[in-house]
Amino acid sequence: MASERIYLSVPHMGGDELSLIHDAFSSNWLSTVGPHIDAFETEMSAAIGGTRHALAVSSGTAALHLILRAIGVERGDHVAVSTLTFAGSVFPILYQGAIPVLIDSESASGNIDPALVRQYLADAARRGALPKALIAVHLYGQHAEMDSIATACAEYGVPLVEDAAESLGATYKGRETGTTAPYALLSFNGNKIITTSGGGMVLVEDPVQLQRMKKWASQSREAAVEYLHVEPGYNYRMSNVLAGMGRGQLRVLRDRVNQRRAVFARYLTMLGDVPGLSFQSEASWGTHTRWLSVCYLDPMTTPVAPLDLIDALTAHNIEARPVWRPMHTQPLFHGAPVIGGDVAERLYRTGICLPSSSSLSSSDQDRVVSLILNTMADPAHRSR
Ligand SMILES: Cc1ncc(COP(=O)(O)O)c(C=O)c1O
């Protein structure tokens, strides 16, 4: 019998979700208004320290779109963003008709390089071409070095946005993710550390901004009995059913962080000494959630390339993925301004995301590890 498939990152329910969903059904709050939505927003805000207002929406991408519009990003503006990320960090820039400026990573965490940010902003200021916003993505569960980035942005008056889609549960110098810039977004997509099947959240410092975004997310209905509209809107609100699921998931967030960190720790123990294989380090400034466990293959030491290892794992019904393909190498963003790019390309060429689910059993992880050990010890093994 073929072995069961091991996925990269699967949903992991805590136990309360179904009764909260059931409550939405029994009370007939089944639309995009209802008590679970309000409670999910309040509880998330409290979970990250109570300094941010929260708006539950249909996806992380929708959250970022609302944020960029609230900042005032318009057609032809520049918006700077990490090049090493998922496309959802960049698409909303296009929705506003703006131009992404794709900034390279620092090599330790893969996050946006603060030195390059400063250099780029100084140069853009000289040219009179400052971006309308800068989006720092916290990659794979680890925070970017926000203080240096925030200082540079403040100096040049550039609004800073945290893309915390992958980092819920992480900390930066004792602060929770989503609270180190005036604007942040979360994702509850099915592959994330907690999920609402699909969903996202805006986190914002300014309650007035929150109210504007809330209106846009609800088809920009004016406060009038008749259907009155004076500006365009979107149908972006989260459903009360899914917000119930989110509340249940939030109750187990700390467990999920610990479980993902334990998965990473086992990989490190069992594979840390393999020549040519290294693991993404944890920066000194905070807690990495290890949303995904990422390792790198050194082409100078091993003939096994990431795609070989991914093929070997796929052949044994195990899902693994390359590190995000940098946005500046995507056909869609051909011609967009790029600042650096070599580091992100190297991380992409050498990196692999390993199965990282919080529910990954030790025996399944052993299967992954022994496949990797076999492939690394005998590169020809991959084609068998
Ligand atoms: C870094 C990053 N930003 C934005 C998004 C978009 O979130 P969503 O899928 O909820 O739209 C994702 C992932 O899905 C992501 O990984």
Instruction: Read off the amino acid at residue 26.
Output: S
**Residue 45 near residue 158 (C-beta atoms within 8 A):** no
Q: Cα(301) to centroid of ligand 1, in Å?
A: 34
Residue 38 Cα distances to 33, 168, 171, angstroms: 8, 19, 25
pLDDT in tens, 288-333: 999 999 999 999 999 999 999 999 999 999 999 999 999 999 999 9
- Rounded CA-CA distance 161/182 in Å is 7
Q: How far apart are the first and last CA of the chain?
A: 18
Atom of ligand 1 nearest to the CA of 138: 1
Q: Where are the domains of the chain?
A: 17-252, 254-383
Q: Cα(88) to centroid of ligand 1, in Å?
A: 5
**Helices and strands of the chain, counted as H and E runs:** 12, 14
pLDDT in tens, 32-77: 999 999 999 999 999 999 999 999 999 999 999 999 999 999 999 9
Taking CA 31 as the corner, what is the angle to CA 28 and CA 32, rounded to the nearest 5 degrees? 140
Q: Cα(218) to centroid of ligand 1, in Å?
A: 21
Residue 379 reports pLDDT greater than 80: no
Atom of ligand 1 nearest to the CA of 137: 1
Q: What's the average model confidence in pLDDT over 236-261?
A: 98
Instruction: Please report which confidence band the pLDDT of residue 384 belongs to, taking 50, 70 and 90 as the band edges.
Output: very low
Q: Cα(193) to centroid of ligand 1, in Å?
A: 12
pLDDT at residue 383 in the model: 44
Between 3.40.190.10, 3.40.50.720, 3.40.640.10, 3.40.50.300, what CATH number should domain 17-252 receive? 3.40.640.10
Instruction: Read off the amino acid at residue 276.
Output: G
Residue 128 reports pLDDT greater than 50: yes
- Rounded CA-CA distance 89/84 in Å is 10
Atom of ligand 1 nearest to the CA of 64: 4
Mutate to test the pocket of ligand 1, among 9, 59, 82, 187 (most ligand atoms within 8 A of CB): 187
The pocket around ligand 1, CB under 6 angstroms, is made up of: 59-61, 85-86, 88-89, 137, 163, 165-166, 187, 189, 200
Atom of ligand 1 nearest to the CA of 189: 10
Q: Cα(314) to centroid of ligand 1, in Å?
A: 24
Atom of ligand 1 nearest to the CA of 191: 14
* 17-252 and 254-383: identical CATH topology: no
Confirm or reject CATH 3.30.1330.20 for domain 254-383, answering yes or no. no
pLDDT in tens, 140-177: 999 999 999 999 999 999 999 999 999 999 999 999 99
Taking CA 68 as the corner, what is the angle to CA 66 and CA 71, rounded to the nearest 5 degrees? 110
Q: Cα(187) to centroid of ligand 1, in Å?
A: 6
Residue 231 reports pLDDT greater than 70: yes
Q: Cα(252) to centroid of ligand 1, in Å?
A: 21
Classify residue 160 as left (phi > 0), alpha (psi -120 to 50) or beta.
Answer: beta
Atom of ligand 1 nearest to the CA of 61: 11
- Token digits of residue 261: 């960190």
Q: Cα(269) to centroid of ligand 1, in Å?
A: 30
Mutate to test the pocket of ligand 1, among 65, 84, 189, 196 (most ligand atoms within 8 A of CB): 189
pLDDT at residue 378 in the model: 80
- Rounded CA-CA distance 247/258 in Å is 19
Q: Cα(86) to centroid of ligand 1, in Å?
A: 7
**Residue 321 near residue 84 (C-beta atoms within 8 A):** no
Atom of ligand 1 nearest to the CA of 62: 11
